[in-house]
Each structure stands twice: as C-alpha cells, then as structure tokens.
Amino acid sequence: MSKIWLITGASSGLGREMAAQLLARGDRVVATARRLDALDDLARQHGENLTVLTMDVTDVVGTRRAMEEAFAEAGRIDVVVSNAAYGLFGAGEELTDEQIEHQIATNLTGSIQVIRAALPHLRSQGGGRIIQISSEGGQIAYPNFSLYHATKWGIEGFIESVAQEVAPFGIDFIIAEPGPTGTSFAANLVRPEPMAVYEDTPAGAVRRAVDSGDFEIKGDAVHTVAAMISAADDKAPALRLTLGSIAYESISKALAGRLETVRSQRDIALSADRDG
C-alpha cells in the first residue's frame, strides 16, 4: 500500500535520494526546499505524485505555514522526514557567533519546530511516524565538528522525551544515524577562518583528513536511504537506526566505553543517595 511522505531539505543529499526512491516505487511525496525549482526534474518525471513547497526551517512561522499547507494538500501524511541540516566545520574556538547561531537554528531549533508543527496534524489524523535524520554524530564526536554534534545530540535528546509524550496518540519516531556517507555533505561544510594554534591538534588532523580525502567514507547514499525506507515500512521499528559499518563500530565502541565507566562508578553513584 502506497504512503504519503513529507521530506524537509529535499533538494539535495539524502533528502533528495529519499524522494526519488519513494516516487519511483509509487508513493506520494511532499518535498520542501528553500528553492522551488530545485526539484523540477523530479516534478517532470512524477507529476502529481510530487508536491514541492518552500520551507526554510529557520523561519518558525514559515515552517508552520508550510506544514499546514502540506497536510491540507495531501489530506494525510503517513511519514514526516525531518532532514534539513548542514555541517559547521571548525574547532569550537574558531567559530563565529553568527555561525553558531545559524547552526543551532537550522539543525536543532529547526528540527524541533518541524516536529512541533507536525504533531497536531498527526494527532488529529490518528497517528503517524516521524523520521529524524541524525548521524552517528548524535552518539559520538569527532574533533572539529563540535557545534554539529551539539545539534545532533540535542535533537536526539528532544526526541527521546517527545516520543514518550506522543506514543499514546499513535505517533512514533525513528532516529536515523548514518555514518560518513557519499553525499554532498562534505562539499557544503561551512568553515570559519582557521586558527594556526589548532594546526597540530586533533582538530587540525581532522581538517587535513577531510581536505585530502583521507577521511574515511564507506556509506552509500542509495543503500542508506533504502534502509531508512525499509525501517519506516516496519510495523514497530526501533527508535534508533544505525547505518553503515563506520557508524556501527564507532557507536558500539562509544556505548561500551560509557557503560564500563558508569559501572566502575557504582559505589560513588550510590553514595550520593540520601541516608536510609
């Protein structure tokens, strides 16, 4: 049975690939982008199965307006995909205030507001599913991506809570956590002016690896999106979906290390309780 999907940030990367795969299998897609002409080729191919709306997730009022329009146009939306995001690439000290504010406004606040705008509609129709495109960077961290990680860890925490709040309404979530994947993400990184003092630090090493092409990328965009769609088709998918061998290894290692640390602190933890 075909579904109706809403995908934010659908003009490029995983969002566009998802729109293309869904349309190819006969589903209907409401795609949002900052420029309407960004999806003209898909519109020519798929006609009325694709609706393109303007949405800038940093514009809260505009996001709500576009969500209203999307549900009014489609009648029902089965899956909302919160995908719009980008990477800010620099040591924490190097970043400008404006870059920090825009990264948070897009990746974190923007994703929160997309979800908030969708919830009343999903409730009124009796349920639905939200996919948040996060990253292995919502569970682990690389040097030089501090603000990007802050937004991804932040949105995952938001969803952990909201998922419990809206489960009684038949609304559930998938947090997709791909590792490094072959998209335009790296080419579109926003970079501050580098500081020489970080050249011989882990931040500088990651910068050189990205610039030289030595930063390992194993994820395939087509396979990654296919796995997300497959999970969304499941009756009861897991909250988190790890995608790619790099993500699997890095997240497994990070979680095992955290658990070991917590367990080693058991006596200290219990000592902080009230007496008796």
Q: Which long-range contacts (CB under 8 A, 24 or more apart) does 226-233 make?
A: 226/21, 228/14, 228/18, 228/131, 228/174, 228/176, 229/18, 229/21, 229/22, 231/174, 231/176, 232/79, 232/129, 232/131, 232/174
Would residue 152 show up in a list of annotated catalytic residues for this protein?
yes
Catalytic entry in 82, 111, 134, 146:
134
User: What's the pTM value of the predicted model, to 2 decimals?
Assistant: 0.94
Would residue 148 show up in a list of annotated catalytic residues for this protein?
yes
In the structure, what pLDDT confidence band is assigned to residue 213 with cuts at 50, 70 and 90?
Answer: confident
pLDDT value of residue 246: 95
In the structure, what pLDDT confidence band is assigned to residue 4 with cuts at 50, 70 and 90?
Answer: very high
pLDDT value of residue 180: 86
In the structure, what pLDDT confidence band is assigned to residue 186 with cuts at 50, 70 and 90?
Answer: confident
Catalytic entry in 111, 152, 198, 250:
152
Would residue 11 show up in a list of annotated catalytic residues for this protein?
yes
Give the CA distances from residue 242 to residues 56, 121, 176, 190, 247, in Å, rounded to whole numbers and listed in that order.
27, 28, 6, 25, 6
| CATH code, residues 4-245 | 3.40.50.720
For the cut 80, the answer to whether the pLDDT of residue 25 exceeds it is yes
pLDDT value of residue 184: 77
Catalytic entry in 86, 142, 148, 198:
148
Would residue 248 show up in a list of annotated catalytic residues for this protein?
no
